[in-house]
Amino acid sequence: SAVISQKPSRDICQRGTSLTIQCQVDSQVTMMFWYRQQPGQSLTLIATANQGSEATYESGFVIDKFPISRPNLTFSTLTVSNMSPEDSSIYLCSVRASTNEKLFFGSGTQLSVL
Protein backbone atom coordinates (compact mmCIF):
# COMPACT_ATOMS: atom_id res chain seq x y z
CA SER A 1 0.00 0.00 0.00
CA ALA A 2 1.04 3.61 -0.59
CA VAL A 3 2.37 5.83 2.18
CA ILE A 4 0.11 8.86 2.43
CA SER A 5 1.31 11.90 4.34
CA GLN A 6 -1.23 14.49 5.31
CA LYS A 7 -0.65 17.80 7.04
CA PRO A 8 -1.46 19.52 9.22
CA SER A 9 -2.58 16.74 11.53
CA ARG A 10 -4.78 19.13 13.44
CA ASP A 11 -5.59 22.80 13.60
CA ILE A 12 -7.80 25.19 15.47
CA CYS A 13 -9.07 28.02 13.31
CA GLN A 14 -11.17 31.11 13.64
CA ARG A 15 -14.49 31.56 11.93
CA GLY A 16 -14.18 33.15 8.49
CA THR A 17 -10.62 32.03 7.82
CA SER A 18 -9.39 29.35 5.41
CA LEU A 19 -7.18 26.30 5.88
CA THR A 20 -5.30 24.36 3.22
CA ILE A 21 -4.64 20.67 3.84
CA GLN A 22 -1.88 18.91 1.94
CA CYS A 23 -1.71 15.28 0.88
CA GLN A 24 1.50 13.71 -0.42
CA VAL A 25 1.71 10.12 -1.67
CA ASP A 26 4.98 8.23 -2.04
CA SER A 27 4.01 6.77 -5.42
CA GLN A 28 1.94 7.77 -8.41
CA VAL A 29 -1.71 6.93 -7.93
CA THR A 30 -4.60 7.05 -10.34
CA MET A 31 -7.32 8.23 -8.02
CA MET A 32 -7.23 10.61 -5.09
CA PHE A 33 -10.20 11.58 -3.00
CA TRP A 34 -11.07 13.88 -0.14
CA TYR A 35 -13.46 12.72 2.59
CA ARG A 36 -14.97 14.39 5.60
CA GLN A 37 -15.89 12.65 8.83
CA GLN A 38 -17.98 14.68 11.21
CA PRO A 39 -18.01 13.74 14.90
CA GLY A 40 -19.63 10.36 15.43
CA GLN A 41 -20.42 9.98 11.74
CA SER A 42 -19.17 7.85 8.90
CA LEU A 43 -17.19 9.03 5.90
CA THR A 44 -18.64 11.46 3.38
CA LEU A 45 -16.96 11.90 0.02
CA ILE A 46 -16.29 15.57 -0.74
CA ALA A 47 -14.71 15.24 -4.17
CA THR A 48 -12.45 13.33 -6.49
CA ALA A 49 -9.21 15.20 -7.14
CA ASN A 50 -8.42 15.02 -10.86
CA GLN A 51 -4.87 15.48 -12.04
CA GLY A 52 -4.54 18.58 -14.19
CA SER A 53 -8.23 19.45 -14.20
CA GLU A 54 -11.04 20.58 -11.95
CA ALA A 55 -12.12 18.27 -9.16
CA THR A 56 -15.41 16.37 -9.34
CA TYR A 57 -17.59 17.36 -6.40
CA GLU A 58 -20.29 15.33 -4.72
CA SER A 59 -23.74 16.65 -4.07
CA GLY A 60 -23.68 19.24 -1.32
CA PHE A 61 -20.08 20.29 -1.86
CA VAL A 62 -18.98 23.19 -4.06
CA ILE A 63 -15.70 24.42 -5.41
CA ASP A 64 -15.97 27.86 -3.82
CA LYS A 65 -16.14 26.31 -0.37
CA PHE A 66 -13.72 23.40 -0.93
CA PRO A 67 -11.26 24.27 -3.70
CA ILE A 68 -9.02 21.35 -4.59
CA SER A 69 -5.81 21.19 -6.53
CA ARG A 70 -3.97 18.19 -7.94
CA PRO A 71 -0.96 19.32 -9.93
CA ASN A 72 0.50 15.82 -10.35
CA LEU A 73 -0.14 12.15 -9.54
CA THR A 74 1.36 12.29 -6.06
CA PHE A 75 0.07 15.52 -4.49
CA SER A 76 -3.22 17.24 -3.75
CA THR A 77 -4.54 20.02 -1.56
CA LEU A 78 -7.96 20.71 -0.11
CA THR A 79 -8.84 24.18 1.13
CA VAL A 80 -11.70 24.72 3.54
CA SER A 81 -12.76 28.31 2.88
CA ASN A 82 -14.62 30.86 4.99
CA MET A 83 -14.87 28.38 7.82
CA SER A 84 -17.71 28.10 10.28
CA PRO A 85 -18.06 25.84 13.34
CA GLU A 86 -20.04 23.41 11.15
CA ASP A 87 -16.83 22.69 9.25
CA SER A 88 -15.28 21.14 12.34
CA SER A 89 -14.48 17.62 11.20
CA ILE A 90 -11.77 15.19 10.33
CA TYR A 91 -10.66 15.63 6.72
CA LEU A 92 -9.11 12.60 5.05
CA CYS A 93 -7.12 12.20 1.88
CA SER A 94 -7.45 8.78 0.26
CA VAL A 95 -6.03 7.00 -2.76
CA ARG A 96 -6.82 4.07 -5.03
CA ALA A 97 -4.34 2.53 -7.45
CA SER A 98 -7.03 1.65 -9.99
CA THR A 99 -10.80 1.50 -10.17
CA ASN A 100 -10.95 -1.96 -8.60
CA GLU A 101 -8.30 -1.54 -5.99
CA LYS A 102 -8.60 -0.88 -2.32
CA LEU A 103 -8.91 2.54 -0.78
CA PHE A 104 -6.18 3.75 1.57
CA PHE A 105 -6.33 6.74 3.83
CA GLY A 106 -3.92 9.39 5.00
CA SER A 107 -3.56 10.12 8.68
CA GLY A 108 -6.26 12.79 8.60
CA THR A 109 -6.58 16.42 9.64
CA GLN A 110 -8.59 17.20 12.75
CA LEU A 111 -10.09 20.65 12.22
CA SER A 112 -11.80 22.65 14.90
CA VAL A 113 -13.42 25.98 14.04
CA LEU A 114 -14.17 28.41 16.84
Partner 1 sequence: QKEVEQNSGPLSVPEGAIASLNCTYSDRGSQSFFWYRQYSGKSPELIMSIYSNGDKEDGRFTAQLNKASQYVSLLIRDSQPSDSATYLCAVIDPGNQFYFGTGTSLTVIP
| Site track 75-94 with partner 1 (rule: CB under 8 A), x = hit | ---------------x-x--
Q: Which is nearer to partner 1, 14 or 100 (CB)?
A: 100
DSSP string, 61-105: --TTTS-EEEEETTEEEEEE-S--GGG-EEEEEEEESSTTS-EEE
Exactly one of 36, 83, 108, 111 binds partner 1 (CB under 8 A); that residue is 108
With binding defined as CB under 8 A, does residue 45 bind partner 1? yes
With binding defined as CB under 8 A, does residue 1 bind partner 1? yes
Cα–Cα distance, 41 to 43 (Å, whole number): 7
Q: Which is nearer to partner 1, 15 or 103 (CB)?
A: 103
Query: What is the amino acid identity at position 23?
Result: C
Count of alpha carbons within 13 angstroms of residue 27, beta-carbon side: 10
Cα–Cα distance, 36 to 87 (Å, whole number): 9
Exactly one of 57, 61, 75, 105 binds partner 1 (CB under 8 A); that residue is 105
Exactly one of 54, 103, 112, 114 binds partner 1 (CB under 8 A); that residue is 103
Q: Which is nearer to partner 1, 14 or 102 (CB)?
A: 102
